[in-house]
Each structure stands twice: as C-alpha cells, then as structure tokens.
Structure 1
C-alpha cells in the first residue's frame, strides 16, 4: 500500500531575505511552481547550525530557525535543490527516504 519517496529538508531562518521576500517563502513558491507534490514550512523553537549563534523563539523576534520539507520523487527533488543555488542563507539541505502510507489524490479534497 505504501510507496517509497524522498523527503527534502531545507534549513534556513526567518531573518533570511531574497529581495523583499523571506527565503522560506521563495522556496515554497518555487516548489509550487515546479509542480512538486507539496511543501511545508516548520518553525523551530530552538536551533543552531555551523555558527555559534542559537536561534530561539522570542515574541516580536524574527530570528527563528525554519525548515522547509518537501516530499516527491528523488530526481525531481535533486533538480529542485540544485535550482536554489541563487538563494542566500540556505544552510543544510538533506534528502532521505520516506515511506508514504497515505496521500490524498490531487483531484479530491483532503479529509
């Protein structure tokens, strides 16, 4: 019943901009334009990466770590990740295998 797909994770932060849009917004828009199955943007409560700076959730602060998750076929995700090379402040990009247990068809609304 399940199928094997890939999960692409793109790490950035809220303070990263590309023009007048936040980097995570640009990634989500490009994913939709590329016809990928879907994208979810997740905000982290606490995060850190290759720098000693720790991103923490604070009221009226826009410096939280953000992760964009996209599930699709491997070749489509690899091509999409390569097309993001013009965006600044993208940290780690990972790709891993996931098993899709259930998926709403595109022509029917989700329950």
Structure 2
C-alpha cells in the first residue's frame, strides 16, 4: 500500500448504538474483519450537522461527534461502505484521494 490511496471518513456520534455496541465500535470491528489497512476513531470537541443540534461532551450526557477514518484502495473502501447499510445513525460518509508517504513497519506483512 503506497502511492495514491483513498481516505474514507464516516461521521457519526457517540450516542449512536447498534444493538449493545456503539456504532463507531461496530465500524472499527468490521473494518478489521474486512482486512482493511487500519481504522482510527476520532472524538470531536464539538460538532453539528444537518440539524441545529450541537454535539459536545456534557457532565451527564456523552454526545460527542465521532469520525472514523480508514485509508485503503478505493474499491475496497466502496465495498466496505456498502457493507454498512444495516447500521443506523451514520451521518456523512466521504471519500477523498490521499497519498501515502510512509507506512508502518509491519505493513508489508499484511495480506
């Protein structure tokens, strides 16, 4: 994995659940099961989307915006997005070109 790749961003929020798991956890687990190059879950300090509702951390309520980032080949990422159709509360999903400059030391051993 080097050169031109794609970056998939999946926007959701901390309060979104699928069964007894948080949606962002399910996405990360499925990304690993799909053998994607890797996934990172980022918690935003503040965020909002189509509605005026502002997602932020409160003392009594965890409702932060969450972004899951995954870098891999475009076809693999598009197939992965299609596999998420059963998950509720996924907001915006974006795909953009990125150039991989450096890989981790164990990247060559991944299938």
Q: Same fold (TM over 0.5)?
A: yes
| Structure 1 residue 91 corresponds to structure 2 residue 91 | yes
Aligned equivalents of 2:79 and 2:51: distance in 1?
A: 28
Corresponding residue pairs, total: 107
Q: Secondary structure of 2:35's partner?
A: coil
* 5+ residue gaps, structure 2: none
- Whether the 8 Å contact between 1:44 and 1:57 is mirrored in structure 2 is no
The 5 A counterparts of 1:71-110 are: 71-104=71-104, 105-106=106-107
The 5 A counterparts of 1:18-57 are: 18-57=18-57
Aligned equivalents of 1:57 and 1:45: distance in 2?
A: 7
Query: How far is 1:59 from its partner?
Result: 3.8
Q: Secondary structure of 1:95's partner?
A: strand
Measured on the aligned residues, the alpha-carbon RMSD in Å equals: 1.4
Residue of structure 2 in register with 1:16 after alignment = 16
Q: Secondary structure of 1:66's partner?
A: strand
* 5+ residue gaps, structure 1: none
Aligned equivalents of 2:72 and 2:21: distance in 1?
A: 25
For 1:47-104, what per-residue CA distance to the aligned partner results, in whole angstroms no more than 9, with x for missing partners? 0001110011334531000000000000000000011010000000000000111002
- Whether the 8 Å contact between 2:44 and 2:64 is mirrored in structure 1 is yes
Query: How far is 1:30 from its partner?
Result: 0.1
Give the alignment's TM-score, normalised by structure 1.
0.91
Give the alignment's TM-score, normalised by structure 2.
0.91
